[in-house]
Amino acid sequence: AKMELYSDIVSPPCQNVLLVAKKLGIALNTKKTNIMDAADVAELTKVNPQHLIPTFVEDDGHVIWESYAIAIYLVEKYGQDDALYPKDPKVRSIVNQRLFFDIGTLYKNILANIDVLIEKQQPSAELRGKLEQALDLTEKFVTECRFVAADHLTLADIFMLGSITALEWFRYDLERYPGIRGWVERVTAQFPDYSDFHKEIREATKQYVATHCPHLEY
């Protein structure tokens, strides 16, 4: 099946979908989409009225956006097994809890801190405190279990890895979080070409920062 992904590797939600596809051995035809570019946005709006990336389009015209929804669909439709998104209701409930924790707490607070820095402000004590609470919880999750939701890699690890990687936007020091650092190594070891992927993220982000927010020292 021919599958397109409107994507920009600078965006953590796009990175997450790309990694899920890698793990499933799916080839996605990526259409590089800059949401700062009016022509790209016009093109994207034809398939997605909310014009968000990532947006996934299948050859039969089926369209999905929201990275979590795309990832779940890819596993359910194209996975050789259910390892990334287990069918067992108890295990799946933990994976879901972690995914909702990511969207509502971890990624949300990382993004809030990045947004403030992009606007040339400094994060308030409240914003920094919320981020710290989110990281403290993440540390607890990865200390209780080898992976974040089960004893093996699931979608929750991939999404939370994208969030933790985004901390590089403001060089957040994970010194206090040995559990998170060890977990990052375990998760990235599941992807043979992860270092190339990470290098691609870093280069694209460096370029993005230089263009749009040169005051940040990425």
Each domain of the chain, given as residue ranges in start order, spans 4-78, 89-212
Query: What residues contact residue 41 under an 8 Å CB cut-off, 6+ apart?
Result: 35, 51
Whether the pTM exceeds 0.95: the reply is yes
pLDDT above 70 for 125: yes
Query: What residues contact residue 103 under an 8 Å CB cut-off, 6+ apart?
Result: 68
Please give the positions annotated as active site.
Answer: 11
Token pair 């050859």 is at which residue?
Answer: 59
Look up residue 66 and give its DSSP letter. S
Q: What one-letter code names the amino acid at 102?
A: D
Report the SS3 class of residue 6.
Answer: strand
pLDDT of residue 216: 86
pLDDT above 70 for 1: no
Of all residues in the chain, what percent carry a pLDDT higher than 70?
100
* Mean pLDDT computed over every residue of the chain: 96
pLDDT of residue 169: 94
Q: What one-letter code names the amino acid at 37?
A: D
Fold (topology level) of 89-212: Glutathione S-transferase Yfyf (Class Pi); Chain A, domain 2 (1.20.1050)
pLDDT above 90 for 31: yes
pLDDT of residue 3: 95
Residues 4-78, CATH architecture: 3-Layer(aba) Sandwich (3.40)
CB atoms within 10 A of CB 123: 18
Are the C-beta atoms of residues 141 and 85 closer than 8 Å to each other? no
